[in-house]
Amino acid sequence: MKKIAFIGAGSLVFTKNLVRDLLTFPAFEACTIALMDISEERLAYAKTAVDNIIAAGGYKAKVEATTDREQALTGADGVVCTILVGDLEVWRTDIEIPKAYGVDINIGDTRGPSGIFRFLRTIPVMLELCRDIERYCPDAIFLNYSNPMAMLIRAMQSESKVQVTGLCHSVQGTAAMLAGWIGAPMEEITYRCAGINHQAFYLDYKWKGKDAYPLIREAVMKRPEIYNEEQVRNEMFLHLDYYVTESSGHNSEYNAWFRKRPDLIEKYCTHGTGWNPGHYAEIINYAEKLRGGWHKQMEEWRDSPIDLKRGEEYASYIFNATIGDGTLFEFNGNVRNMGYIDNLPQGCCVEVPVLASKGRLSPIHVGALPDHLAILVNTSARCEELAVQGALTGDPRMIYHAICFDPLTSAVLSLAEIQEMVDRMFAANQGWLPQFNHLT
């Protein structure tokens, strides 16, 4: 009987969907699902939701719910992590302090000043989790969904022996979106995608083996409803010739082209129709809306109709390949760059094709990104490298330098203004950053 541990199981939507997917594989229909969360209340919602799935599917799976991480991990064959470190109040400062200096952020969970401070809060907990996995289930496959993905994976893979990769649904999600735009069945689409998390590009995208980029370009240029669905990403595509994986809201933060002036924010980041088109602090605003009706929302998610059809998230397929029946599965995962992308920094975190097989995750060599894409991606990857080194050594100067070269921040602020902003962000995070205790 296999055991899968869910750390941060109170992230109810993720937990419900991933458990549902997992149980559709015969290798796991009688597995043990170990749910762990620091919140007993959230944990109770998660257990009820999983119990409902098991009952609806007639599965023989067993559910354990605990606030004890050791108990959840002991003997696990697979681990899924969906944690968020820090409360809403400190999370707000990630976005509101930069805004006070003119750096307008949409989501702030990946890179830039907001993503870096979220990383600084999260990595001590993640490294503790890795040490526990090494102690209680050293052979487990560890799949991380927590952001900021690239910096977390980079640090965990350099500081632990755990077999870990990071997963994001933007690659398969965007591939399906593009197929819909050109009227192609997804099963007829093939692609090769690489870069870094949220800033990977489809190096080729084919329909029945033929280049589909001309069809995508025609759809974007001639159909206003398609252009308006993803204004930022579509502008990037029209000018850079390759399509990026993550949404317009996210990508509006990762470069200097869209959010450095109010008129650009109005033009590109305000009137889009897709998910998170680019409004300021969209994720914080969403969290604020949920806070007042948190229990009601959790009850709705817990008790929503159960669809037992397997979804498109990678996790269950990876577990089936590595600890299930061994069916090979290729996916885009986050790993350290040990020569997989030729013109990105050695050792940084990249998002590349990975082959999952019995007990193994094997990244695949991609080669070089197109030169102009490498300039953009290198900037982000090198800033992330500085942030990781600063976090691991407790060096605030490295954190400052990582933020200095962030494209959006550097397009808006002077060096002295960035220093002042970073100092304020360190002050706001006092108590969350044990690796920087020597600063107080």
Distance CA 79, CA 213 (A): 37
365 is annotated as contributing to ligand binding? no
437 is annotated as contributing to ligand binding? no
Q: Which uninterrupted H or E stretch holds 84?
A: none
The secondary structure of residue 339, as a DSSP letter, is S
* Pairing assessment for the beta strands 163-166 and 62-66 based on DSSP bridges: unpaired
The answer to whether the Cα torsion of 231, 237, 240, 243 is positive or negative is positive
Counting other chains too, the contacts that 337-343 makes at CB distance below 8 Å and 24 or more residues apart are 338/363, 339/365, 340/194, 340/364, 340/365, 340/366, 341/194, 341/195, 341/366, 341/367, 341/368, 341/369, 342/366, 342/367, 342/368, 343/368, 343/369, 343/371, 343/374, 343/378
239 labelled catalytic: no
Distance CA 371, CA 377 (A): 10
Please tell me whether residue 50 adopts helix, strand or coil conformation. helix
- Tell me the CA distances in angstroms from 281 to 98, 126, 171, 256, one per residue in order: 11, 25, 23, 18
Q: What is the DSSP string of 387-408?
A: HHHHHHHT-HHHHHHHHHT-HH
**How many Cα atoms within 13 Å fall on the side-chain side of residue 302?**
18
**How many Cα atoms within 13 Å fall on the side-chain side of residue 230?**
24
168 is annotated as contributing to ligand binding? yes
- Tell me the CA distances in angstroms from 124 to 13, 121, 327, 371, 401, one per residue in order: 25, 7, 35, 35, 21
The secondary structure of residue 341, as a DSSP letter, is B
Distance CA 101, CA 412 (A): 8
Counting other chains too, the contacts that 184-193 makes at CB distance below 8 Å and 24 or more residues apart are 184/212, 192/353, 192/366, 193/245, 193/332, 193/351, 193/353
* Pairing assessment for the beta strands 3-7 and 78-81 based on DSSP bridges: parallel
Binding positions for substrate are 147
Catalytic residues: 169
